């Protein structure tokens, strides 16, 4: 996002007020909080955000740990997505960064590990998306397509579209880890696109009729050489 676009979002937050933000604006502000704590904001951005007042309050350790324990009781895991519980997700990400830099006290690291927290940032990011997708598919049905247009009603799940696309792309290129492929299929996600599934159906029909495994173009070529009164033709388009 360019600086001008960033400033437009900042103005919207300033106009509405921190206490009255929509989910999309709150998500944007949560992202700024996360970047701020990792030192990724430019000075001009830091200065503008401070104009909002107390825009990045610290979540006390005991409060954060209690919220995480409640989250696990409700969800059954500790993989918190920013779109789901922004304040808790930022706090947990901060704990991971402290652990990575060797700044997290041993007793706090043990308490988080006891709850089941994964400290690897990349793995935790994947698992938070995976569990959010599982939740969405349980609500919308197996193989349902995540929403692509953001509204306050579907905001929690709108980022899943790019996650699903990424997993399907990895699968198509043969780079999706087998255990992840199995887990994604177990929760109801089809990794083949609709067009690929259509081709597979036609290939299965062709194999059944001709007793061979060929590309659609090859099957069509063979079929054209046969007596149509002997073998029913299959539309391989």
pLDDT value, residue 229: 40
In whole angstroms, give the CA distance from residue 140 to residue 156. 13
pLDDT value, residue 34: 86
In whole angstroms, give the CA distance from residue 11 to residue 198. 48
Which candidate, 188, 231, 237, places its Cα nearest to that of 212? 231
Dihedral pair phi/psi, residue 12, rounded to 5°: -65, -45
Contact 160, 129 (CB under 8 A): yes
pLDDT value, residue 195: 60
pLDDT value, residue 205: 52
Q: Which two three-digit tokens encode residue 32? A: 């700024």
Q: Within 10 Å of residue 87's Cβ, how many Cβ atoms?
A: 17
pLDDT value, residue 5: 93
pLDDT value, residue 198: 53
Kindly calculate the radius of gyration of the chain based on its CA atoms and give it in whole angstroms. Answer: 24
In whole angstroms, give the CA distance from residue 97 to residue 37. 9
pLDDT value, residue 236: 38
The CA-based angle 85-11-22, given to 5 degrees, is 30
In whole angstroms, give the CA distance from residue 135 to residue 107. 32
Sign of torsion, CA 89 78 130 150? negative
Which candidate, 176, 158, 159, places its Cα nearest to that of 167? 176
In whole angstroms, give the CA distance from residue 51 to residue 15. 12
pLDDT in tens, the chain (237 residues): 789 999 999 999 999 998 898 888 888 998 898 888 878 899 899 989 988 888 887 789 999 999 999 999 999 999 999 888 988 998 998 899 889 989 999 999 999 999 999 999 899 999 999 999 999 999 988 878 888 777 766 778 888 989 999 999 999 999 999 999 999 999 999 998 666 555 554 445 545 555 545 555 554 554 454 444 433 333 333
Contact 14, 50 (CB under 8 A): no
In whole angstroms, give the CA distance from residue 189 to residue 141. 10
Helix (H) or strand (E) holding 194: helix 194-210
In whole angstroms, give the CA distance from residue 22 to residue 25. 5
Domain boundaries, given as residue ranges, for the chain: 3-50, 61-186, 193-237
Contacts 24+ apart (CB under 8 A), 104-108: 108/61
pLDDT value, residue 27: 86
């Amino acid at each position: 996002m360019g600086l001008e676009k960033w400033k437009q979002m900042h103005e919207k937050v300033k106009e509405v007020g921190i206490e009255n933000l929509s989910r999309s604006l709150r998500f944007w502000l949560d992202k700024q909080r996360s970047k701020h704590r990792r030192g990724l904001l430019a000075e001009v951005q830091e200065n503008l955000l401070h104009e909002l007042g107390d825009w990045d309050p610290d979540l006390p350790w005991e409060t954060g740990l209690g919220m995480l324990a409640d989250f696990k009781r409700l969800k059954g895991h500790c993989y918190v997505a920013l779109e789901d519980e922004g304040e808790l997700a930022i706090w947990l990400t901060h704990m991971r960064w402290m652990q990575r830099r060797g700044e997290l006290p041993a007793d706090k690291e043990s308490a988080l590990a006891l709850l089941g927290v994964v400290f690897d940032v990349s793995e935790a990011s994947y698992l938070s998306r995976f569990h959010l997708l599982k939740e969405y598919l349980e609500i919308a049905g197996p193989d349902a397509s995540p929403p692509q247009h953001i509204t306050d009603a579907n905001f929690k799940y709108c980022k899943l579209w790019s996650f699903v696309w990424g997993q399907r792309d990895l699968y198509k290129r043969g780079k999706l880890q087998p255990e992840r492929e199995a887990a994604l299929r177990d929760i109801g996600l089809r990794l083949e696109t609709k067009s690929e599934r259509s081709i597979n159906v036609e290939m299965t029909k062709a194999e059944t009729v001709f007793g061979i495994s060929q590309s659609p173009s090859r099957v069509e070529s063979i079929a054209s050489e046969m007596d149509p009164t002997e073998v029913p033709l299959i539309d391989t388009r």
